Amino acid sequence: MTAFTATVEVRLKRGVLDPEAETTARALERLGFELDELRSADRFGVDMEADSADAARERATEMAERLLANPTIHDYDVSVEEREK
């Protein structure tokens, strides 16, 4: 088994209201920053042991689909990196 860290980033789909991002975008614009768009996201780091990076990605994807993200309103990305034990 190899040690991996899977990162799952969950964000609202385009078109779904994102009050946190809207409030933050208005504040940034008041500070002089020009934005095309801002979306909030949650990021989960999961340390795990797996036989391969593909197996770790599969497990993290299942976590996202079953609990971390609501597929009706969220998009998510999964990335996996090997780590030292």
Residue-range domain boundaries for the chain: 2-82
**Total count of residues recorded for the chain:** 85
Class of domain 2-82: alpha beta
Sign of the torsion formed by the C-alpha atoms of 52, 57, 62 and 68: positive
Scanning 1-85, the segments in alpha helix (DSSP H) are: 19-30, 53-63
pLDDT in tens, 11-69: 999 999 999 999 999 999 999 999 999 999 999 999 999 999 999 999 999 999 999 99
pLDDT category at 84 given cuts 50, 70, 90 is confident
Residue 8 to residues 22, 29, 61, 81, Cα–Cα distance (Å): 23, 29, 8, 12
Spatial distance between the Cα atoms of 71 and 84, rounded to a whole number of angstroms: 32
